[in-house]
Each structure stands twice: as C-alpha cells, then as structure tokens.
Structure 1
Amino acid sequence: MSVRDLIILGCSSQQPTRLRNHGAYLLRWNQEGFLFDPGEGTQRQFIFADVAPPTVTRIFVSHFHGDHCLGLGSMLMRLNLDRVNHPIHCYYPASGKVYFDRLRYGTIYHDHIQVIEHPVSKEGIVHQDGAFTIKAKFLDHGVDNVGWRIQEADTVKFDKDKLKAAGIRGPQVKELEAKGEIEIDGKRIKLEEVSWVRQGDIFTSVIDTKPCKNAVSLAKGAKLLLCESTYLEEHKDLAHSHNHMTAKQAAAIAKEAGAQKLILTHFSARYRDLKPFVEEAREIFPNVDVADDFKRFDFPLQDFLLTQK
C-alpha cells in the first residue's frame, strides 16, 4: 500500500520557538506529496524528518505572510538542485503573484525544474484528475487567504463472494467494470450487484482565519482536518483582533463540519505547553490532537465495514 500520512514539519505561528519551527505540513498520499505553507527553514526540516524533498509534487501557499511562505524559494531551489523530473504544481492566491515571483527568483540559480503555477482568483475546483479533486475557498484573515480541500476519487470495490456466485472471473471482471454490466450464462449481471463504492477520503487545510462558513464548507466530512488554533480561550480577544482562532473555535468547526479527526496547529509562541489546546478543544470535539514538529499522523484507507455504514 502506498504511504498515506501527514508529517508536521513545523507548527509555530509568526515567531518560531526553540521547539517549534515555522509552519509546514507534508501530506503523503499515494503517489503525491502535498506540501502546505512552507515557512522559513522547511528545507532543513525535511532532513530532520528523514524525508526526501523530491517527495513533493504540489505546493500550496494559503497566503503571503512570511511564516507561511518564506521557505518556498529554498524548497523550489532544493527540488531544482535535485533535478526532479516531475512537474511541481504551485497553488496560491492570485493577488500574491508578485510575492510568489520574488520568492521563486530571489537568488541566482540555474532553473531546471518545471513549475506549473495555479494562481487562485476565484473559489471552486482548481485541479481535477482521475485521482484527486482539489478545491479552494477564501478564508477570513484580512488578506487574500485560501483554504484547501483535497478529495480522492471514489473507487469501485468488488465483493469476491458475489463475483464467484455470479460466475464472473478473470478478464470478465474488467469487462464488467468497463461496461457496467455483463452477460453470464444468459443472465445479465449489473456492476452494482457485485460491487460497492469506496468514497474517496478528504483532507482539509484551514490555516490563518477567523471562524467562517467557508472553513466549515471545506471541512465537510473530512477524514483529517488540519486547522489553526493560534490561541487559547483566555486570549480569545487577541484571536479576534489578529484574525485567528482559538482551539475551541477550531473544534466547533470540526464538529459542525462532521470531520472525523482534528489536528490543531499554528500555535502562538507565548505557549510552551500544548496540552491545554487539546483539553479545551475536547470539550467540543473529542477526536482531536495537536501538531508538533516531526509528529506523524496516519491517513489509512477506510476498511470495508466502515465504508459500508
């Protein structure tokens, strides 16, 4: 089975600490490596995480505040140095094109890689293929800031017992999948009679925002929701004035959206202990954990029984 996990390369907010680097998040999902908000030092964090940078296939920048993008240039230069032969897709708010260019071309180097830009100017689907659909929505942070929803394609799964009972075997299975029905001994068997659909999993990234409807929309039914929770409730006023959220507000979004698991991140440097974030969030949403540098969260396939419910 292909690797499916979320690796925290950094979880601090504007100011890094001795223990927490600027934010950066790598989602390894089948054959893709989705890198979100590469802050300063991301290239080095890959070394400590023991992950090869060429794993990255797509880079997402939510907005162009420094802690979310200062590692972009060095990551592209590293991929260029490694001479990756796959294209690097970059998604970012279109209004930040000037900052993207400054980061990409901030130093002298020989450009060998293929960078495909996807500046986002309107909400909706920004990429779709046979494997994934990527959607973008604008969040509430005072500047153009994009949240991301990645959903894998649904897949048809066959019930071996039903195939056997119907007498369908070998190449006939592929024929049935392609045509939707097949005739066996004078009887027509439809695809849905011997199969079931595994709905594609959903990952959502909501970083830097006040609570808003678009955050809930992006997180609807997400298997894994990575969400900012810069402050605790005692600093709720700071969260509002700086266009951020508290752990409880992030938990409320997860609950309303019906997400399966919530990962809190983007912590203010004023906090050393992250346990209170979990404690406050669990008052509203039970399945919650906190990001921490180099922590990994598995993102496994759902099993048959869970999918069937």
Structure 2
Amino acid sequence: MSARDLIILGTSSQQPTRYRNHGAYLFRWNEEGLLFDPGEGTQRQFIFANIAPPTVNRIFVSHFHGDHCLGLGSMLMRLNLDQVTHPIHCYYPASGKKYFDRLRYGTIYHENIQVIEHPVSEEGVVHDDGKFCIEAKFLNHGVDNIGWRITEPDLRKFDEAKLKTFRIVGTMVKKLIEQGFIEVDGKKITIEEVSWIRKGDSIAVVIDTRPCKQAVELARDVEILLSESTYLEEHKDLAHKNFHLTARQAAEIAKEAKAKKLVLTHYSARYLDHRLFEKEAREVFPNTVAACDLMAIPFPKNPPKE
C-alpha cells in the first residue's frame, strides 16, 4: 500500500529559525505527491525527511510572499535534474504569473521536464482529472492568496461475503460493474445489493489569512485541515494587522467546519515553543496537532459505511 500521510518540511513563517525551516508541506496520497508552498530550503528538507523529490507530481503556491515560494525554482530544477518523466502540475494565483516565471527561470539550466501551469483567477473547481478534484478560494491576506481543498474520487467497494452468497465470481464482477446488474440462476442482482460507495476523502490547506468564511468552506468535513497559526491569542492585534490567524482562530475555523483533524503551522519566530499553539487550539478543538519540522502525520482511509 502506498504512503498516505502529511510530511511537514518546515513550520516557520517569514523567517526561518535554528529549528524551523520555511514552510513546505507534502501530502503523499494515492501514489502522488502534493507539495504546498515550498519555501526556502525545501529541497534540502526532502533529504532530511528521507523522501525522494521525484515523489512530487503537483505543486501549489498559495501566494507569492517569499516564505511561500522561494523554494519553487530549486524544486523544479531538482526535478529537472532527476529527469522525472511525469508531468509537474503547478497551481498558483494568476495575478502572480510574473513571479512564477521569475522563480522558474531564475537561473541557467536546460529544461527537460514537463511543467503544466494552472494559473487560478476564479474560485471553484480549478482542475479535476479523475485522480483529484482541486478547489480554490481566495482568502483574506491583503494580496491574492489561495486556499485549497483537494478531494479524491468516490470508490465503489464490494462486499466479498455477499458476492460469495450470490455466487458472483471472476468475470461476472466485471459484467456487474459494466451494466449495473447481473442475473444468476434466473435472479436479478443489482450492484447496490453487493457493494457500497466509499466517499472520497478531502484535505484543506489554509495558509496566511484573517478569519473568513472561505476558510470554513474549504475545511468543511475534511480529514485534515492544515492551517497557519502565526500568532498566539495574546498577539491577536498583530495577527489582524498582518492578515494572519492565531492558534485559537484556526481552531474556531476547524470547529465550525467540522474538520476531523487540525494541523497547525507557520509560527512566528517570536515563539520558541510550538506546543503553546497546540495548547491554545485544543481548548477549542481538541483534535489538534501543532506541527514541527519533519513530522509525519498519517491520514488512513475512513472505515466503510455500514
């Protein structure tokens, strides 16, 4: 079974610290690698995490403040150096096209990878290729800044015991899938009688914003909400001034959205102990994890509905 987890490659906000790299977040999911907001030093963090960069299939940039994109160019050049044969899909605010180009072509190199750009100018579904449905909403950060919701397809699961009871075996299952029913010993059996639909899981990434309805909408019922929490509540005024969240505000978003798990990141360098964020958020939303660099957070598939 392929890995299904969130790898935290960095947790710092505007400036890295001795213990925190610029932010970067890798979801390994359904044999793909979804990399969000690769800040400075992301390529090196892959080494420390013992993960090969060619794992990456998609790169998402929420906005073009440096701590969210300075690692983009080096990641693309690394994938180029590794001569990956799969396309690299890149999603970013359309208004930042000039910054994307500068980062992509900031140095001399012979490009041999296929980069497919998805500049986003309108909210809603921005890409659905049957593997993932990608939704975008603009957050409240003072510049064009996108929050993301990623959803895998629904999957039909068969009840092996019921298949056996109805004596549906081998190629009969394929026929059942193709036409939605099958006749066995003169009895019509529908696909619904021997299977169920497992709803596809969703994750949301909300990085750099004031509290807003768009963040709640993105996080509705997700398995994981990865959210910035630049400040603690004691510096709530700074959070508002700088278009950021406190840990408590992130927890309030998770609670309202009925997310299953909240992962906090993007801490101001003024705070030395990330556990303070976890403590503050858990008062509102108990299932909170304050991330630290190189942490791996699994999100296994939901159990099937009865």
TM-score by length of 2: 0.99
What is the match of residue 142 of structure 1?
A: 142
Compute the displacement of 1:189 (Å). 0.8
- The CA deviation string for residues 211-237 of structure 1, in whole angstroms up to 9 with x for no partner, is 111100110110011001110000000
| 1:3 is the counterpart of 2:8 | no
What is the match of residue 227 of structure 2?
A: 227
Does the residue aligned with 1:28 lie in a helix, a strand or coil?
strand
What is the match of residue 192 of structure 1?
A: 192
CA distance in 1, matches of 2:274, 2:3: 28
Compute the displacement of 1:303 (Å). 2.2
Alignment of 1:1-309 (within 5 A): 1-304=1-304, 307-308=305-306
- The CA deviation string for residues 84-123 of structure 1, in whole angstroms up to 9 with x for no partner, is 1111000000000000000001111101111000000001
Compute the displacement of 1:171 (Å). 1.0
CA distance in 1, matches of 2:15, 2:132: 34
CA distance in 2, matches of 1:175, 1:214: 43
Gaps of 5+ in 2: none
Q: How many residues align?
A: 306
CA RMSD of aligned residues (A): 0.8
Compute the displacement of 1:35 (Å). 0.3
Compute the displacement of 1:131 (Å). 2.0
TM-score by length of 1: 0.98
CA distance in 2, matches of 1:276, 1:11: 14
Compute the displacement of 1:28 (Å). 0.5
Does the residue aligned with 1:255 lie in a helix, a strand or coil?
helix
Gaps of 5+ in 1: none
Amino acid at match of 2:62: S
Amino acid at match of 2:94: A
Amino acid at match of 1:80: N
CA distance in 1, matches of 2:10, 2:131: 28
- The CA deviation string for residues 27-50 of structure 1, in whole angstroms up to 9 with x for no partner, is 100211000000001011111111
Amino acid at match of 1:135: E
Amino acid at match of 1:24: A
Compute the displacement of 1:261 (Å). 0.4
CA distance in 2, matches of 1:224, 1:303: 16
Compute the displacement of 1:163 (Å). 1.1
Amino acid at match of 2:166: A
Does the residue aligned with 1:278 lie in a helix, a strand or coil?
helix
CA distance in 1, matches of 2:10, 2:153: 29
Amino acid at match of 2:129: D
Does the residue aligned with 1:21 lie in a helix, a strand or coil?
coil
